[in-house]
Amino acid sequence: AVVSTQSTGGDYTVPFAMLPIWAHLSKYLQQSYIVAIATVVLTLLWPVLWYLWTHCLNANSNFYFAITLAFVLFQSFLLSDIIFAKMRRDYAREHGVESKKVDDVETVVTLN
């Protein structure tokens, strides 16, 4: 999706199809809500802008290209978040920092 002007289905689905591989990092992700909301919004805008560009002739290809750029931006957010979550998990495992239960309530450990 980075080098193409119009994205295809493969550009969109491959990164999200690989998310189950990194399911063990889910508790270390920080931007998952932002990426999820952006994914839903872009998924809804993509066919709308394509329809306006090709059938209604009200928009031009720049609108569709802007959606592609926004998708690449949030895809890079997802990638950087996964890489940082892996680093945080490795640090926690190496230094023995884990969340612990105190009186049946899970405590939150912040890694600064």
Highest mean pLDDT among 4-8, 13-17, 87-91: 87-91
Condensed to tens digits (0 to 9), the pLDDT of residues 55-106 reads 888 878 788 788 888 888 888 898 899 999 999 888 888 876 665 666 666 6
**Tokens at residue 35, please?**
């990426």
Condensed to tens digits (0 to 9), the pLDDT of residues 33-56 reads 998 899 899 889 888 888 888 888
Does the pLDDT at position 1 exceed 60?
no
Residue 6 main-chain phi, psi, to 5 deg: -120, 130
What pLDDT score was predicted for residue 101? 62
Task: Report the C-alpha gap between 40 and 34 in whole angstroms.
Answer: 10
What pLDDT score was predicted for residue 98? 61
The predicted model scores a pTM of 0.72
Do residues 45 and 91 touch, judged by C-beta distance below 8 A?
A: no
What pLDDT score was predicted for residue 37? 94
pLDDT over 70 percentage in the chain: 79
Mean pLDDT of 13-36: 86
Virtual CA dihedral for 43, 30, 15, 2, nearest 10 degrees?
80
| Tally of CB atoms within 10 A around 16 | 12
